[in-house]
Amino acid sequence: MKVAVAAVLLLAATPSPLADLEARYLDLLEIHDRIGIAESRGVDRGSDGTPLAELRARYAKERAAFVTQLEPLDATRFEGEDQKALDAIHHVFGYALGEQQAPAEAKSPAVPECAYDAARLVGGPEGLATLQERLYACYSYAARHVAFEGKVHDRLTILEMAGKEPSAARRRQIFLALEPVFRSVNGDGSATSPYRVMLQPSAAQWKSEGSPIDRNLTALGIPPEKLEPWLVSILEAWRDATQGQELEPWDYEYSGNAAGRALADRITTDKLRPLNDAFYRSLGADVVALNIHYDLESREGKTAVAFTNFGARPRQKEGRWTPGEPWIFATYGAGGLGNLGELLHETGHAIHIAAIHTRPAFTDWPDSDTFTEAIADLIALDAYDAAWQKKYLGAEASLADNLRTKYSGIVLDVAWGLFELRMHRDPAADPNVVWTELTSRYLHVKPHPDISWWARRGQLVDSPGYMMNYALGAILVADMRARCLELKGSFTNGDPGYYAWLTERIYRFGLGKTSGNVIRDFLGRAPSPDAIIKDMRRTR
């Protein structure tokens, strides 16, 4: 971190003409962050104890003052890094720092109205956004209230149960308990289902405005024509590496969880945080010192999708650099290797944003969500390595079981990425048919076009195109992990200087350097799928 801090001190020694504006911008972002975290937590105070109403009033006042300072600026007066900083401020202000709505009432955790006419919603004002909001609300409620054998579970717990259940007949029952989740997205599967109605304007928007996938590829410097062949090559490698098996959809979690079953008693729910914290601490990323906060308890109204965000931005205070206040939101009703992997992934996001060391205008997520998702797994994927398991769990799964467990989830993400690409290319297609073709051809899953089992990921409706970040991110992270091993060694070995090393080369840039340039500078070349395919083939 010494070099990163030196860069910050250099900036402080040669102040920009935008210094006052950037300081006010960072103050405005922090108030906005604290409001967002309080709303996600379902509380009426910020994490610093400030009442939410006061935070909103402060935000309105600071936003108005910021606008009076920003609007008169003549952009032609600036050049180089200052021009880039001003462009970044305008961009983030335009999409993220709008006027706060008056807090008429707190959000109700009541059951959303899910017997709705999707065509009517999409035909009204802000039609696509309105339909997506209702779709996601119904999905979230269904994913948090999965009934099975007289009890209510969340989606992840059900999938964890399916991955552990030795009886094929009972696995089927567990899996089909998710049908209300599938229906919340795809209804009866007809052309009037909520997802299929949503898909038409979403595809039109991608065509007219460009897709989020295209924007990520541009930021990464990856030619769009390479994307689909890369994804297909990974799926083909998996198909070849797992020849000889044929699975029902309800058997897929079980088949891909051999390592999880072998280690189940070592990863109980109460051990998730201690294992997570100890691993990152061994690399110099102490989650307490980095001021990382966790919201992991179940509650009504909480989103069903895990995520990480700023509660405050990293910044200089009283002559020293502070890591801000990253917040992680997830719900774990069970332990298991899969849930541990997800927690390690979310903490990967948190240590990344805590390590951003740059001028205030660039203190944000990178310009590519794909890059962001990739580096969240940079350290996390060690949990699927026998050496890591032996060190932290005192037991280990076999190489074949670990690889199968790691990649069964990754190839599903790749399939989802390809699924969204093809559905937006042909929005009239039947999603069940498209998904069945992909999973039967590449994942050895028996055809079940009557089951919308693709519809279990909230990102498909909340942020169409986002699943591609996990798919393409898997390519990038395999490439970068191989480079880390070559240059610095294994994460599992433990090295208190590893986090500082990663900070200097990968984490610290925010919007100050394009994701594509960060990756190329680190790899010394353009990224490719060679590393992930090479690793996957060890499954044989």
pLDDT of 105 higher than 70: no
pLDDT of 9 higher than 60: no
d(CA 228, CA 421): 8
Token pair belonging to 441: 């051809």
Token pair belonging to 40: 């996600």
Same domain flag for 78 and 114: no
Across the strands, what pairs with 327? 293, 309
Sheet containing 293-295, strands listed edge to edge, beginning at the edge strand earlier in sequence:
293-295, 326-329, 307-310
Percent of the chain scoring above 90 in pLDDT: 87
Q: What is the Cα Rg of the chain in Å? A: 23
- Number of C-beta neighbours around residue 101 at 10 A: 7
Residue 190, domain CATH? 1.10.1370.30
**Residue 404 C-alpha from the chain's centroid:** 22
Contacts of 170 (CB under 8 A, 6+ apart): none
d(CA 258, CA 166): 11
Confidence category of residue 14, pLDDT binned at 50, 70, 90: low
pLDDT of 273 higher than 70: yes
Confidence category of residue 102, pLDDT binned at 50, 70, 90: low
Quick one: pLDDT at residue 75?
82
Quick one: pLDDT at residue 10?
42
The domain in which residue 7 lies consists of: 1-107
* Mean pLDDT of the 464-482 span: 96
Q: What is the DSSP letter of 385?
A: S
Same domain flag for 420 and 527: yes
Across the strands, what pairs with 326? 310
What total of structural domains would you count in the chain?
2
Quick one: pLDDT at residue 104?
44
Please list the helix, strand and coil fractions of the chain in percent, rounded to the nearest 5, in that order: 60, 5, 35
Task: Name the domain boundary from 80, 107, 134.
Answer: 107
Residue with tokens 């410097």: 221
Across the strands, what pairs with 307? 329
Quick one: pLDDT at residue 6?
43
Query: Is residue 143 helix, strand or coil?
Result: helix
Same domain flag for 128 and 65: no
Same domain flag for 336 and 466: yes
CB 378 within 8 A of CB 502: yes
Quick one: pLDDT at residue 1?
37
Same domain flag for 130 and 45: no
DSSP β-ladder status, 307-310 and 326-329: antiparallel
pLDDT digits (tens, 9 = 90+) for 65-89: 999 999 999 888 899 999 999 999 9
pLDDT of 208 higher than 70: yes
Quick one: pLDDT at residue 434?
98
Of 489, 474, 491, 449, the residue nearest 532 (C-alpha): 474
* Mean pLDDT of the 439-445 span: 97
Quick one: pLDDT at residue 181?
97
CB 510 within 8 A of CB 372: no
Same domain flag for 162 and 289: yes
Measure the CA angle with vertex 537, ends 531 and 540; round to 5°.
Answer: 160
d(CA 36, CA 161): 33
Same domain flag for 100 and 156: no
pLDDT of 108 higher than 80: no
Confidence category of residue 12, pLDDT binned at 50, 70, 90: very low
DSSP secondary structure string for all residues of 228-269: HHHHHHHHHHHHHHTTT--B-HHHHHHHTTHHHHHTGGGS-G
Confidence category of residue 491, pLDDT binned at 50, 70, 90: very high
pLDDT of 109 higher than 90: no
Residue with tokens 């990968």: 506
Query: Is residue 314 helix, strand or coil?
Result: coil
- Number of C-beta neighbours around residue 8 at 10 A: 17
* E-only strand ranges, 138-261: 146-148, 151-153
d(CA 122, CA 126): 8
Of 519, 503, 513, 512, the residue nearest 321 (C-alpha): 503
Task: Name the domain boundary from 58, 90, 107.
Answer: 107
SS (H, E, C) 481-514: HHHHHHHCCCCCCCCCCHHHHHHHHHHCCCCCCC
d(CA 487, CA 474): 20
Quick one: pLDDT at residue 101?
59
Quick one: pLDDT at residue 301?
82
Of 376, 309, 316, the residue nearest 342 (C-alpha): 376
Task: Name the domain boundary from 107, 136, 161.
Answer: 107
Quick one: pLDDT at residue 334?
86
Query: Is residue 48 helix, strand or coil?
Result: coil
Token pair belonging to 316: 């200089």
pLDDT of 403 higher than 90: yes
Same domain flag for 297 and 193: yes
Across the strands, what pairs with 151? 148
pLDDT of 386 higher than 70: yes
Question: In this structure, what are the phi and psi dihedrals at residue 36, rounded to the nearest 5 degrees?
Answer: -60, -40
DSSP β-ladder status, 293-295 and 326-329: parallel
- In Å, what is the CA distance from 75 to each residue of 25, 43, 95, 361? 17, 40, 19, 15
Same domain flag for 34 and 127: no
Same domain flag for 434 and 319: yes
d(CA 478, CA 377): 9
Considering only residues 292 and 334, tell me which one the structure prediction assigns the higher pLDDT. Answer: 292
pLDDT digits (tens, 9 = 90+) for 321-365: 899 999 999 999 889 999 999 999 999 999 999 999 999 999 999
CB 374 within 8 A of CB 480: yes
Percent of the chain scoring above 70 in pLDDT: 96
Same domain flag for 48 and 10: yes
**Which range has the worst mean pLDDT, 3-12, 19-28, 45-54, 217-226?**
3-12
Q: Which amino acid is at 460?
A: L
d(CA 82, CA 88): 10
Quick one: pLDDT at residue 245?
81
d(CA 392, CA 490): 14
Of 409, 417, 465, the residue nearest 232 (C-alpha): 417
Same domain flag for 20 and 164: no
pLDDT of 485 higher than 70: yes
| Predicted TM-score of the model (pTM) | 0.89
